[in-house]
């Protein structure tokens, strides 16, 4: 598998991570034996890279890595200071009618301590399908833009479930009936959460960088089927 490169300079590389690819091996994913993103990049480039932030295995999209380990903290500080704007897109169950802020603590899986977390959710498109999903005679979906003000593990997935609009394809926090419908009726099996964009100023070069990550195949299929456009 060749990883798409969105940006590269002497300090960082920014890639478009596919669905279902771990960034690196971890205790929580110890049973997954597929090649990790870091292993794939090593095969592709012959050198090591160091993740600056994280994406869940099932989430696709834009990810920044440092070329030198000592520079990781420099870019992490930008994330911590909200000087890097991250935008995600999600397809969720139900109609999201109005923009809203989801302000709800998220539990850290290691410490079991809840930490403050905030997500801005903005509706973009809606779709009603004449396909029954228990307990309704039809099914409703929304395309939403998600801007996290914090970076807790599984934050977006937990927050969307909290407002009763779980992300389609999420088998941990989602709705199994809608997940099953997407698999059986639409032949789409992936999580519909995509890290779409990064906007920031590279602190070492002072270059302004604005990047968008192209969509996986399942997303393109749904955009065509639902007659949705997004630029």
Cβ count near 143 (within 10 Å): 23
56, 170, 175, 218: the active-site residue: 56
Rounded-to-integer distance, Cα 198 and Cα 195, Å: 8
Start-to-end CA distance of the chain, whole Å, equals 27
The answer to whether the CB of 13 falls within 8 A of the CB of 65 is yes
Helix (H, G, I), strand (E, B) or coil at 114: strand
Rounded-to-integer distance, Cα 59 and Cα 89, Å: 10
Pairing of strands 60-66, 193-201: parallel
Query: Cα dist. 223→19, 156, 168, 176, 220 in Å?
Result: 17, 21, 14, 22, 5
Catalytic site includes residue 9: no
Give strand pairing partners of 86: 198
The catalytic site residues sit at 56
């Amino acid at each position: 598998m060749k990883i798409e490169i969105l940006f590269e300079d002497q300090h960082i590389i920014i890639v478009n991570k596919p669905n279902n690819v771990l960034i690196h091996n971890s205790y929580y994913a110890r049973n997954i034996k597929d090649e990790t993103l870091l292993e794939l990049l090593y095969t592709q480039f012959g050198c090591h890279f160091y993740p600056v932030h994280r994406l869940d295995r099932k989430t696709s999209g834009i990810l920044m890595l440092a070329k030198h380990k000592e520079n990781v903290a420099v870019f992490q500080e930008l994330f911590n200071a909200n000087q890097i704007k991250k935008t995600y897109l999600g397809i969720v169950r139900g109609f999201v009618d109005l923009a809203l802020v989801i302000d709800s603590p998220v539990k850290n899986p290691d410490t079991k301590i809840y930490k403050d977390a905030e997500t801005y959710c903005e509706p973009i498109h809606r779709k009603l399908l004449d396909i029954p999903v228990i307990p309704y005679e039809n099914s409703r979906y929304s395309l939403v833009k998600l801007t996290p003000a914090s970076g807790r593990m599984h934050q977006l997935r937990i927050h969307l479930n909290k407002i009763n609009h779980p992300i389609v394809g999420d088998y941990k926090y989602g709705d199994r009936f809608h997940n099953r419908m997407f698999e059986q009726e639409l032949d789409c099996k992936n999580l519909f959460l995509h890290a779409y964009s990064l906007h920031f100023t590279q602190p070492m070069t002072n270059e302004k960088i604005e990047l968008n990550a192209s969509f996986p195949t399942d997303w393109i299929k749904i955009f065509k089927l639902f007659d949705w456009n997004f630029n």
